[in-house]
Structure 1
Amino acid sequence: MDGSSKSIGDLPDMILQHILSLLPTEVAVGTSVLSKRWQYLWTSIPNLVFTEGLPAKRMLFLSFVERVLLLHDFSNVEKFSLTCDVLYDASRINAWISAAIRHNVQKIDICLDKFEEPFVLPHCLFTCDSLKMLRVEMCHILKVPSSICFSSLRCLVLKGVIFSDEYSTEQLFSGCPILETLWIARCIWENLKAVSIFVPNLQKLAIEEFNYDDEDLSDVNGCEVNIFGMSLKSFHYSGDLLNEYCLCNSPSLVTAHIDVIPSCENTRIGAYRVKQLLIGLSSVNDLSISRGAIELLNEVEEFFTVLPVYRNLTYLQLTTVPMCFDFKALLNILQKSPCLETLIFHQGIKVSPSCVEDDDGILDPVPSCFLSHLKRIEVYNFKGNEEQLYVIKILLKKATMKENEDDYNTFSETDLDNWWEVKKTLFLRKIKDKFA
Structure 2
Amino acid sequence: MEKKSNSIYMWEVKKGSIGVGECSKGNSRAKEDRLSSLPNELIHRILSTVDAKLAVQTSVLSKRWRHLWTSLPVLNFQDSSFDDPVLFQYFVDHVLSHRDASTNLQVLNFASQEELQDEHVVDSIIDYVTLTPPISATIHFLSILAECVLGKLPQLSLCQSLTTLKLSHISTETTSFDVVSLKQLYLFDCRFECGVEELLDPFEGCVNLTCLSLHRCNYYGGFETFRIFAPQLTNLSISWMRIDEVFDSDCVIELSTPKLQYFTYCDTDLYDFSAEVDLPCVEEVDIDVWCLNKDTDLLLRMIELFEMMESAEFVTLSPDMIDVMSMFPDILDGRSSPFTRMQNFELNRDTPSVPPNVMAYLFAGSPGFRFN
TM-score (norm 1): 0.68
Report the CA distance between 1:308 and its aligned residue: 4.7
Match of 2:180 among 139, 145, 151: 151
Matched, 1:339 2:338: no
Q: Report Cα offsets for 1:59-99 as digits up to 9, x if no partner.
A: 11011101111111121211111122565623332122220
Q: Does the 8 Å contact 1:29/1:42 carry over to 2?
A: yes
- What are the within-5 Å matches in structure 2 for residues 94-105 of structure 1? 94-101=123-130, 102=132, 103-104=135-136, 105=139
Partner of 2:307: 279
Q: Does the 8 Å contact 2:146/2:168 carry over to 1?
A: yes
Report the CA distance between 1:302 and its aligned residue: 5.4
What is the RMSD of the two structures over their aligned residues, measured on CA atoms?
A: 2.8
Report the CA distance between 1:300 and its aligned residue: 3.3
Match of 1:172 among 202, 216, 220: 202
Bigger mean CA deviation after superposition, 314-323 or 47-56: 47-56
Question: RCO (CA 8 Å, sep 6+): is it higher in 1 or 2?
Answer: 2
| CA distance, structure 1, for counterparts of residue 162 and residue 246 of structure 2 | 40
| CA distance, structure 1, for counterparts of residue 179 and residue 152 of structure 2 | 15
Partner of 1:71: 98
Percent identity over paired residues: 22
Change (3 A) 1:77 1:307: farther
Q: Report Cα offsets for 1:131-184 as digits up to 9, x if no partner.
A: 000011125345246xx5312111011112234338698443111111111111
Matched, 1:198 2:225: no
Matched, 1:19 2:46: yes
- What are the within-5 Å matches in structure 2 for residues 351-362 of structure 1? none
Q: Report Cα offsets for 1:284-306 as digits up to 9, x if no partner.
A: 11111121222123333455454
* 1:224 alignment partner AA: V
Report the CA distance between 1:276 and its aligned residue: 2.8
Match of 1:29 among 45, 56, 60: 56
Match of 1:61 among 65, 88, 92: 88
Q: Does the 8 Å contact 2:153/2:174 carry over to 1?
A: no
Q: Secondary structure at the match of 2:202?
A: helix
Q: Secondary structure at the match of 1:174?
A: coil
Partner of 2:295: 267
Number of residue pairs aligned between Structure 1 and Structure 2: 328
Matched, 1:183 2:213: yes
* 1:124 alignment partner AA: Q
Q: Secondary structure at the match of 2:145?
A: strand
* 2:233 alignment partner AA: L
Q: Does the 8 Å contact 2:256/2:275 carry over to 1?
A: yes
Q: Does the 8 Å contact 1:286/1:313 carry over to 2?
A: yes
Report the CA distance between 1:267 and its aligned residue: 2.8
Change (3 A) 1:126 1:300: farther
Report the CA distance between 1:14 and its aligned residue: 2.0
* 2:207 alignment partner AA: P
Change (3 A) 1:271 1:309: closer
Unaligned runs of at least 5 residues, structure 2: 1-31
Rg larger in structure: 1
- What are the within-5 Å matches in structure 2 for residues 237-386 of structure 1? 237-241=265-269, 243-248=271-276, 249-263=278-292, 265=293, 267-301=295-329, 303-305=331-333, 306=335, 308-326=337-355, 328-335=357-364, 337-344=365-372
Matched, 1:227 2:255: yes
Unaligned runs of at least 5 residues, structure 1: 345-436
Q: Secondary structure at the match of 1:331?
A: helix
* 1:16 alignment partner AA: I
Partner of 1:354: none
Partner of 1:108: 142
* 1:60 alignment partner AA: L
Change (3 A) 1:239 1:140: same
Matched, 1:46 2:73: yes
Q: Secondary structure at the match of 1:164?
A: strand
Q: Secondary structure at the match of 1:140?
A: strand
Q: Report Cα offsets for 1:13-59 as digits up to 9, x if no partner.
A: 22212221122211111101111110000111111111223996011
- What are the within-5 Å matches in structure 2 for residues 101-140 of structure 1? 101=130, 102=132, 103-104=135-136, 105-113=139-147, 115=148, 119-138=150-169, 140=171
Partner of 1:80: 108
Q: Does the 8 Å contact 1:111/1:136 carry over to 2?
A: yes
Partner of 1:403: none
| CA distance, structure 2, for counterparts of residue 67 and residue 233 of structure 1 | 44
Q: Secondary structure at the match of 1:238?
A: strand
* 2:121 alignment partner AA: R
Change (3 A) 1:185 1:193: same
| CA distance, structure 1, for counterparts of residue 326 and residue 219 of structure 2 | 27
Q: Report Cα offsets for 1:307-352 as digits up to 9, x if no partner.
A: 65422112222231224222633332123x33233111xxxxxxxx
Change (3 A) 1:121 1:298: farther
Report the CA distance between 1:278 and its aligned residue: 1.3
Q: Secondary structure at the match of 1:339?
A: coil
Q: Does the 8 Å contact 2:143/2:166 carry over to 1?
A: yes
TM-score (norm 2): 0.79
